Amino acid sequence: MKPLIILDTTLRDGEQMPGVSLNISEKLEIARQLESLGVDYIEAGFPASSPGDFQAVKAVAGAIKGCGVAALCRCVRSDVDKAWEALKGAVKPRLHLVIASSPIHMEYKLKMEPDEVIERTVDCVCYAKTLCDDIQFSCEDATRSDWEFLTRLCAAAIDAGATTINIPDTVGYSMSEEYARLMVYIQENTPNFGDVVLSCHCHNDLGLAVANSLAAIDAGARQVECTINGLGERAGNAALEEIVMGIKTRSDYFGGVTTNIVTQRIARTSRLVSTMTGVEVQKNKAIVGENAFAHEAGIHQHGMLANRQTYEIISPDEIGLTQSALVLGKHSGRHAFAERLAELGYSISEEELEDAFRRFKELADRKKNISDRELEKLIGHELADVPEAFQLESFQVHTGNKINSLASVTLVKDGREDTEAAMGDGPISAVYNAVARVVGGDWPLVDYSIKAVTGGDDALGEVTVHVAIGSKIFTGKGLSSDIIEASLRAYINAINRALAES
């Protein structure tokens, strides 16, 4: 067997996606799910980038016991110190050092000559090795670098103490066959490569992140860096679920390559990350998209009825998509509610259970039956809560197609109610203007989206908003069977997030 190390970078590279900003409790919830999923390493963040990232990495390092925790740092001693300070409480810590290696990056970003880059690498890797045994070294923009220089740089890093060498396709530039050849070249032309683990990290700018990652694995890479749902800046990163299921489904091709991923937990992990980040998974996304196991064409349906394998190469239950026989509604008790959450893979505290059950009862009074998808959205929103400086008490809206909308909104802060009214071009605009009057200040809305969680006229509506505060974007999420209430909750959630960081 050929074990493949999975390093998940959802909490670091994935969170760099514009509009995604996770608080510490959300990062911890995702980290615990990644641990349960079976990843080998969680890259928890870049501690030197901000106090918030430092605290998040420290929290994840202290909470996670079943897998390694990594932190990114540039080849700068102060970065290494910051990363180690955040990481040192981890059961299995890893320092991940990175420096650019391409001519364009060395000239315009680093303003360093190649020999200076090697000198800096040796100094920082040697220093990091005095703090931590597990050192990963990455050559940023490796696929646009000179191959001979890469082998010199990797050899220097290995001599200095690096145990994992990562060759990232940082800007998604490489073609699959080309990337595979580079991987073979590094192994064959780095004289001291020996037992060092070769890693790949691919971006999706040309839509090739997963294909390039699989090509690298076929060429000898024994670690792959990826994110849930392919989350990441620009066009995103290689998607964990696609890589893992590609290897599992085509085990005949990959010749004994295995992972520790519990594939039955993929669907739940995907939905949790989507809920926490506010980034919806496209319907036709491979493996976890809503349509991944949908068959509409008549000829496909006929084949499926005869034998599911005619058009399905993966069984839905392989990734944890199961149909529940248990129907939850307004008469369901706390025990049945808790039992269903456990079956869905949630392990939450008594306090969180009480809050979630209260919200469930409020929802059950409005709609007859609650599906698993709605239940997961509900619990996801509960786990993603932030300190509520302002809480929604009530609202009223007067609207029509021939008049400006008028809204009255009552919010509660520190036990005191405050009500304001405002007009707007539509009901959402009116309630948002009223909220801004209660809160005070400017809270510009830069993005708004709404999605029905399930079908039916009583379906839950999930609203995601992005609010700009200075140069920062804050994401807010709201859930309700009333779309105006869901919109209000999302806007207030974004404001509360901004206030929590101020």
The per-residue pLDDT for 385 is 67
165 residue type, one letter: I
Kindly state the average pLDDT of the residues 76-100. 98
Query: What's the CA gap between 501 and 334, in Å, rounded?
Result: 34
Question: What tens digit of pLDDT does each residue of 231-244 get?
Answer: 999 999 999 999 99
Q: What is the dihedral of CA 311, 317, 320, 325, to 10 degrees?
A: 120
Residue 280 CB contacts under 8 Å (≥ 6 apart), including other chains: 274, 449, 451, 464
The tens digit of pLDDT for each residue in 244-256 reads: 999 999 999 998 9
- What is the rounded distance in angstroms from the CA atom of residue 12 to the CA atom of residue 30? 12
Per-residue pLDDT of 313-371, as tens digits, reads 899 899 988 655 456 777 788 888 888 777 777 777 788 888 888 878 877 777 777 77
Q: What is the pLDDT of residues 406-462, one digit of tens each?
A: 999 999 999 999 999 999 999 999 999 999 999 998 999 999 999 888 777 677 888
Q: What is the pLDDT of residues 267-326, one digit of tens each?
A: 999 989 998 888 889 989 999 998 888 744 454 444 545 556 666 789 989 998 865 545
Identify whether the C-beta of residue 15 lies closer than 8 Å to the C-beta of residue 42.
no
The angle at the Cα of 331, spanning 325 to 335, to the nearest 5 degrees, equals: 70
User: CA Rg, the chain, in Å?
Assistant: 25
Q: Two tokens at 403?
A: 């008049």
Q: Is the pLDDT of residue 118 over 60?
A: yes
What's the whole-number average pLDDT of the chain? 91
State residue 383's pLDDT score.
66
Work out the burial of residue 260: count CB atoms within 10 Å of its CB; fewer than 13 is exposed, 13-18 middle, 19 or more buried. middle
The pLDDT assigned to 307 comes to 58
Residues 6+ apart with CB under 8 A from 436: 422, 442, 443
If you write DSSP's letter for every residue of 292-326 in order, what string do you get?
A: TT---SHHHHHHHHH-GGGT-SS-GGGGT----SP
Closest CA to 367 of 451, 463, 482, 450: 482
Query: Residue 354, SS3?
Result: helix
- Identify whether the C-beta of residue 272 lies closer than 8 Å to the C-beta of residue 380: yes
Rounded-to-integer distance, Cα 23 and Cα 356, Å: 19
Q: How far is CA 72 from CA 83, 137, 177, 231, in A?
A: 7, 10, 28, 17
User: pLDDT tens digits, residue range 42-63?
Assistant: 999 999 999 999 999 999 999 9
Question: Can you tell me the distance from the alpha carbon of 44 to that of 27, in angstroms, rounded to the nearest whole number?
Answer: 8
**Could you tell me what percent of the chain has a pLDDT over 70?**
93
At residue 346, the pLDDT reads 74
Give the span between the Cα atoms of 393 and 336, in whole angstroms: 29
Confidence of residue 473 (pLDDT cuts 50, 70, 90): confident
318 CB contacts (<8 Å, ≥6 apart)?
245, 248, 263, 264
**Is residue 238 within 8 Å of residue 212, measured between CB atoms?**
yes
Say how many Å lie between the first and final Cα of the chain, rounded: 51
Q: How far apart are CA 248 and CA 127, in angstroms?
A: 39
Cα 273 to its chain centre, rounded Å, is: 5
What's the pTM value of the predicted model, to 2 decimals? 0.86
Pick left, alpha or beta for residue 23 (phi over 0 → left; psi -120 to 50 → alpha; otherwise beta).
Answer: beta
Residues 6+ positions from 12 with CB-CB distance below 8 Å: 43, 44, 45, 46, 72
